[in-house]
């Protein structure tokens, strides 16, 4: 099946891991050698120590940020899919409303966020809405494209078979759109996190509901740079985890599909 021997599983993890170790070692070495103060660049070791000592605080914030990002992603998925399904019902609907979807996409969230935060009383809901606005576009555009990309011959076959609109949608367009949808979801997962962080920055919510962005903001003001790095590390790790989760979901969904006997759920 493979013409060329693919790199072994071990190597695929070992190679980037080696790069990380080398970079961290160089970082640590340079910081120690030049005696760089921690409030400018903390050593990796210092960042790790901060992760451990501040774990209670950081974990709470991580949960807050993740909750916002995940809720926004779920909302964007549901609403985005519904909008895409509406778009493919008629060219008129798509023609009339698609430009506004684009408008939403190209307007920077930092510009809209203050408004949303003013209009929506509950800050948590406001943050979720901001992140949803950022994440929804790839879902809409990819799913619309997928629903429209049904094989022309199959569409004709369905017509010859006198298939109803619903049958065409359920048995042909939706299954065919799933790979496109998952492509959109993968992009949206990253955007939801970015949206959550940006909105938190704008809102500057402290206290109980403080997310990672607020910890970064606060740490920066207090010159607690190790904690800033620790929070940054957690955001990056959360992004990678979200991305990996959507990859895995797409793999599970698409292969189960191929295994399934029926063309569409009955």
Cβ–Cβ < 8 Å for 76, 104 = no
**Of the residues 4, 91, 121, 258, which one makes contact with other proteins according to CB under 8 A:** 258
To other proteins, the closest distance from the beta carbon of 169 in angstroms equals 13
Cβ–Cβ < 8 Å for 99, 223 = no
Q: Is 172 in the site for other proteins (CB under 8 A)?
A: yes
For residues 46 to 85, the per-residue mask of contacts with other proteins, x marking binding by CB under 8 A and - elsewhere, is ----------------------------------------
Secondary structure element (H or E) that encloses residue 59, with its range: helix 55-87
**Of the residues 87, 171, 228, 238, which one makes contact with other proteins according to CB under 8 A:** 171
Closer residue to other proteins, CB minimum distance, 114 or 176? 176
- String of DSSP letters for 157-198: HHHHTT--HHHIIIIIIHHHHHHHHHHHHHHHHHHHHHHHHH
Q: How far apart are CA 12 and CA 60, in angstroms?
A: 33
To other proteins, the closest distance from the beta carbon of 183 in angstroms equals 16
Number of residues that bind other proteins (CB under 8 A): 24
CA distances 178 to 121, 152, 175, 186, 243, Å, are 36, 17, 5, 12, 17
For residues 136 to 155, the per-residue mask of contacts with other proteins, x marking binding by CB under 8 A and - elsewhere, is ---------------x-xx-
CA distances 181 to 63, 76, 92, 147, 251, Å, are 27, 12, 22, 9, 13
Q: Is 252 in the site for other proteins (CB under 8 A)?
A: no
Q: Is 160 in the site for other proteins (CB under 8 A)?
A: yes
Q: Is 176 in the site for other proteins (CB under 8 A)?
A: yes
Q: Is 262 in the site for other proteins (CB under 8 A)?
A: yes
Q: Is 257 in the site for other proteins (CB under 8 A)?
A: yes
In terms of C-beta density within 10 A (0-12 exposed, 13-18 middle, 19 or more buried), how is residue 178 classed? middle
Binding site for other proteins (CB under 8 A): 151, 153-154, 156-163, 167, 171-172, 175-176, 178, 257-258, 260-263, 266
């Amino acid at each position: 099946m493979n013409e060329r021997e693919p790199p072994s599983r071990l190597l695929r993890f070992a190679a980037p891991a080696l790069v990380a170790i080398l970079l961290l070692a160089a970082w640590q070495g340079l910081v120690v050698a030049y005696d760089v103060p921690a409030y400018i660049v903390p050593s990796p070791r210092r960042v790790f120590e901060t992760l451990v000592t501040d774990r209670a605080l950081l974990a709470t914030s991580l949960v807050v940020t993740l909750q916002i990002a995940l809720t926004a992603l779920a909302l964007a998925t549901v609403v985005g899919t519904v909008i895409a399904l509406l778009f493919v019902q008629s060219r008129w609907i798509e023609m009339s409303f698609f430009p506004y979807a684009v408008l939403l996409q190209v307007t920077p969230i930092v510009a809209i966020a203050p408004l949303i935060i003013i209009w929506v009383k509950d800050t948590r809901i406001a943050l979720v809405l901001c992140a949803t606005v950022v994440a929804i576009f790839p879902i809409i555009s990819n799913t619309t494209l997928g629903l429209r990309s049904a094989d022309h011959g199959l569409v004709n076959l369905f017509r010859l078979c006198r298939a109803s609109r619903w049958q065409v949608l359920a048995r042909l367009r939706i299954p065919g759109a799933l790979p496109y949808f998952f492509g959109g979801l993968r992009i949206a997962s990253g955007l939801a996190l970015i949206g959550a962080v940006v909105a938190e920055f704008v809102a500057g919510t402290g206290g109980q509901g403080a997310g990672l962005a607020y910890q970064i903001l606060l740490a920066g003001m207090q010159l607690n740079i190790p904690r800033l790095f620790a929070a940054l590390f957690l955001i990056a790790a959360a992004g990678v985890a979200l991305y990996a989760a959507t990859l895995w979901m797409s793999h599970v969904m698409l292969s189960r599909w191929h295994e399934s006997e029926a063309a569409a759920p009955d």
